[in-house]
Amino acid sequence: MMDALQAPPPSGPTPSVAIMRAIDASPLTPPASPFEPGPAPMLQWVAVADLVVDETYQRPIRGAGRKNIAAIAEAFCWSRFAPILVSPVAGGRYAVIDGQHRATAAALRGIASLPAMVIIAGAMEQAAAFRAVNGQTTRIHALEVHRAAVAAGDPEASEITGICSEAGVTIASHPRVVTRLKPGETLAIGAIRTGLARYGRDVVGLALRCITQSSNNHPGVLSSLVLEAMFAVVGDHPNWTCGAAARDRLVDAFNAVVVLREADKAAAQPRELGQPLWHVLRDRLTARVEAALLQRKDAA
């Protein structure tokens, strides 16, 4: 009999061990300027009804701002809500320096108060703070967003990673120069996502295999340009992909096609005004693949 104090083994998959990195500023050079951070801020909950927006420097809410607010409200969750930045103004209210979209989304959800960092600043300093906060934000690359989405269990991100893994493709964890990429590694997460939505899992997986399982598997070949063209080549010719044998023949046909050379020739080829470059590459690849398939058929 199991000891009453012995816990049963956990069910389900074993959770991955998180890799934690400490905050370390030692590799960086400290600023040479005098350190004058100003009064320390206060952290407190502020009523939404007490929030105001200074239109002399704040952006009006329209277009993309409305869509952003709707998206925040739709998926509102405290674990994804950063405290807003405010400063006291006349009448017992607080001017929102950073976070008006988040505050508006919270109001849309009927939330009465929000966590806020309160700083003491005059109108000019508020505008300067707004500029600093919004102008010095580190832009997050799509690759880093994708990695976070995978870690969060996002279904689409997990599906993309699975398709790539099955085809021998690795999605780079962060952006870097093409010359630093390895065979089978790609930065083109946007092209893969678009291809999946347009053509489906089978086409995307086969198109990737046509690169990774042929003589074309070189560093840098899995670019957005090449993938957009490849997805179209495979997706627009279902007669080439009907059955396992046909799919294997298509992969083998790409051994007779030098994809990077065709990409270079497409870039040098004149094209109509407004015609995407990947259309030119698609047409070039289609012609080469048709010829390779016909040659293999004649040889058989």
Of 118, 135, 152, which one is at a domain's C-terminal end? Answer: 135
What is the domain range of residue 242? 142-299
My answer on whether 151 and 233 are in the same domain is yes
Which is it for the CA torsion 213, 216, 218, 219, positive or negative?
Answer: negative
* DSSP β-ladder status, 51-52 and 84-89: unpaired
16 domain-assigned = no
What confidence tier does 252 reach under pLDDT thresholds 50, 70, 90?
very high
More confident site: 229 or 61: 229
230 domain-assigned = yes
Mark residue 137 as left, alpha or beta (left: phi above 0; alpha: psi -120 to 50; beta: remaining). beta
What confidence tier does 67 reach under pLDDT thresholds 50, 70, 90?
very high
The total domain count for the chain is: 2
Rounded-to-integer distance, Cα 220 and Cα 178, Å: 5
My answer on whether 255 and 285 are in the same domain is yes
Model confidence pLDDT, tens digit, residues 154-190: 899 999 999 999 999 999 988 889 889 999 999 999 9
Closest CA to 222 of 270, 189, 255, 269: 189
My answer on whether 292 and 231 are in the same domain is yes
3 domain-assigned = no
My answer on whether 69 and 180 are in the same domain is no
Report residue 47 as tokens. 């009523």
12 domain-assigned = no
Of 83, 102, 135, which one is at a domain's C-terminal end? Answer: 135
My answer on whether 157 and 104 are in the same domain is no
101 domain-assigned = yes
Mean pLDDT of 66-73: 93
Residues 141-158 as b or e (16 or more Cβ within 10 Å = b): eebeebbebbeeeeeebe
Q: What pLDDT does 138 receive?
A: 60
For residue 174, count other CB atoms closer than 10 A to its CB: 9
Q: What pLDDT does 265 receive?
A: 97
281 domain-assigned = yes
My answer on whether 89 and 158 are in the same domain is no
My answer on whether 158 and 282 are in the same domain is yes
Q: What is the pTM of this model?
A: 0.67
My answer on whether 149 and 295 are in the same domain is yes
- CATH number of the domain to which 68 belongs: 3.90.1530.10
My answer on whether 119 and 158 are in the same domain is no
Residues 229, 269 contacting (CB under 8 angstroms):
no
My answer on whether 53 and 202 are in the same domain is no
Let me know how long the chain is: 300
Q: Is the pLDDT of residue 91 over 70?
A: yes
Alpha helices in the chain (DSSP H): 64-74, 100-108, 123-135, 142-151, 155-166, 189-199, 201-212, 224-235, 244-253, 259-268, 277-299
Q: Is the pLDDT of residue 255 over 70?
A: yes
For residue 119, count other CB atoms closer than 10 A to its CB: 18
My answer on whether 99 and 148 are in the same domain is no
Of 135, 152, 183, which one is at a domain's C-terminal end? Answer: 135
